[in-house]
């Protein structure tokens, strides 16, 4: 009996020590990195920002943050964890970095439009200057996503249990390590091209002290803390993602596709215009990316303001169309022609007549 009492007393002293001295451990990429989003931002100035946050000397453009509320991760975030939207955190980090000018495209947009409706109704004072054409366009859209995982550190529980007895072993079994992996993707709004994507991660070890050991006193304090680690680890992971995104855009180099973006690509598919067996330009069953191709010149218009002829050519299989301008008058209208491409554009010097009045 004395042994049992002594064991419980030692366990209790250790638990009190654990309560006062050890609460959580968090890291993002580096064990020493502090990765919480702190401070504030005003224009290009940031106050008390995370010292590890990447910064730009000059902004690279305007961004809007889009959060897909239909995604599973968002439902888990707001319903199960009861945490708010990730947008405010990401906006703070983005502005503090000075890499982007952040635009409102969220809930406050309704208020912006309401002010404009009031102005149009005549209720706003004269000189309020709510005329059209003042809103700034978003050059880029940044989209966040989260992957959650958590696991109990049974090994730690067993180790502590072996040292200080079964009660503390049960407590140590309550230690929970929460991981979050976040991704930020950035697209260029005019083209729809994804410019960059960056992953971030963080881990938070929560020493969840069981209320059943000490009753309501220590258990209540620990329980209040155990509700917040998920939020902390998500902020840390997004800080890591933002850092990685900034590193990517600071060293950005545009991807290039021979022949131009969206003009067919280099991976030919059998039966497509660039891979028709027996057609000119096919070598060993694979088409040469720049032709020659066959098509019909359907339009020829003279533009007086530019003194150029404007031509439209439709591929023979009607899968693509091309436009080009030239000072030369090409007489092959409605005729079947053969042509080649340079950088995705028709080389007018390559045009050859194949069949007159093909359209008729």
pLDDT in tens, 77-124: 888 888 888 898 899 999 999 999 999 998 888 899 999 899 889 898
> Do 161 and 237 belong together in one domain?
yes
Tell me the per-residue pLDDT of 26-53, one tens digit each, with 9 for 90 and over: 554 444 434 357 777 788 887 777 788 8
> Do 239 and 288 belong together in one domain?
no
Task: Give residue 283's domain range.
Answer: 273-355
Q: Which residue has the tokens 């439902």?
A: 75
> Do 35 and 172 belong together in one domain?
yes
> Do 176 and 63 belong together in one domain?
yes
Please tell me the distance from the alpha carbon of residue 204 to that of residue 209, in angstroms, as a whole number.
Answer: 15
pTM recorded for the entire structure: 0.57
Given a contact cutoff of 8 angstroms between Cβ atoms, the answer to whether 356 and 335 are in contact is yes
> Do 63 and 152 belong together in one domain?
yes
Please tell me the distance from the alpha carbon of residue 73 to that of residue 81, in angstroms, as a whole number.
Answer: 11
Of 250, 285, 319, the one marking the end of a domain is 250
Encode 247-273: b = buried (16+ Cβ within 10 Å), e = exposed: eebeeeeeeeeebeeebbeeebeeeeb
Structure confidence at residue 109 (pLDDT): 87
> Do 336 and 204 belong together in one domain?
no
Number of domains composing the chain: 2
> Do 108 and 200 belong together in one domain?
yes
Structure confidence at residue 12 (pLDDT): 59
User: Residue 59 falls within a domain, yes or no?
Assistant: yes
User: Residue 9 falls within a domain, yes or no?
Assistant: no
User: Residue 175 falls within a domain, yes or no?
Assistant: yes
Of 217, 250, 283, the one marking the end of a domain is 250
CATH number of the domain encompassing residue 343: 2.40.50
> Do 164 and 283 belong together in one domain?
no
> Do 101 and 218 belong together in one domain?
yes
> Do 342 and 234 belong together in one domain?
no
Q: Give the tokens for residue 7.
A: 């064991």
Residue 173 has pLDDT above 60, yes or no: no
- Torsion, Cα 162 165 166 168, to 10 degrees, reads -90
User: Residue 8 falls within a domain, yes or no?
Assistant: no
Strand duo 321-326 + 336-339: pairing: unpaired
> Do 46 and 148 belong together in one domain?
yes
> Do 242 and 203 belong together in one domain?
yes
């Amino acid at each position: 009996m004395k042994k049992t009492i002594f064991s419980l007393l030692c366990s209790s002293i250790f638990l009190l020590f654990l309560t006062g001295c050890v609460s959580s451990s968090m890291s993002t990429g580096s064990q020493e990195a502090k990765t919480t989003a702190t401070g504030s931002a005003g224009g290009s100035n940031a106050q008390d920002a995370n010292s590890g946050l990447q910064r730009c000397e000059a902004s690279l453009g305007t961004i809007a943050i889009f959060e897909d509320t239909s995604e599973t991760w968002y439902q888990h975030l707001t319903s199960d964890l009861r945490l708010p939207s990730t947008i405010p955190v990401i906006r703070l980090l983005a502005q503090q970095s000075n890499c982007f000018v952040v635009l409102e495209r969220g809930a406050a947009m309704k208020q912006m439009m309401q002010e404009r409706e009031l102005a149009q109704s005549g209720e706003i004072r004269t000189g309020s200057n709510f005329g059209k054409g003042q809103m700034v366009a978003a050059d880029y859209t940044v989209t966040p996503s989260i992957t959650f995982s958590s696991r109990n550190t049974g090994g730690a529980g067993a180790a502590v249990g072996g040292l200080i007895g079964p009660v503390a072993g049960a407590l140590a079994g309550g230690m929970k390590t929460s991981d979050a992996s976040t991704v930020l993707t950035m697209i260029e709004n005019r083209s729809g091209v994804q410019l960059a994507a960056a992953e971030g991660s963080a881990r938070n070890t929560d020493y969840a002290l069981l209320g059943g050991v000490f009753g309501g006193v220590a258990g209540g304090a620990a329980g209040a803390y155990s509700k917040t680690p998920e939020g902390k680890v998500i902020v840390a992971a997004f800080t890591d993602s933002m850092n990685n995104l900034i590193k990517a855009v600071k060293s950005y180099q545009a991807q290039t596709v021979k022949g131009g973006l969206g003009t067919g690509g280099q991976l030919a598919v059998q039966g497509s215009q660039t891979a028709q067996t027996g057609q000119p330009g096919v070598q060993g069953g694979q088409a040469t990316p720049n032709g020659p191709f066959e098509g019909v010149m359907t339009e020829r218009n003279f533009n007086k303001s530019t003194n150029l002829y404007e031509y439209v050519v439709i591929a023979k299989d009607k899968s693509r169309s091309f436009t080009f301008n030239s000072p030369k008058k090409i007489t092959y209208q409605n005729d079947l022609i053969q042509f080649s491409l340079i950088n995705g554009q028709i080389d007018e010097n390559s045009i050859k007549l194949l069949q007159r009045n093909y359209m008729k």
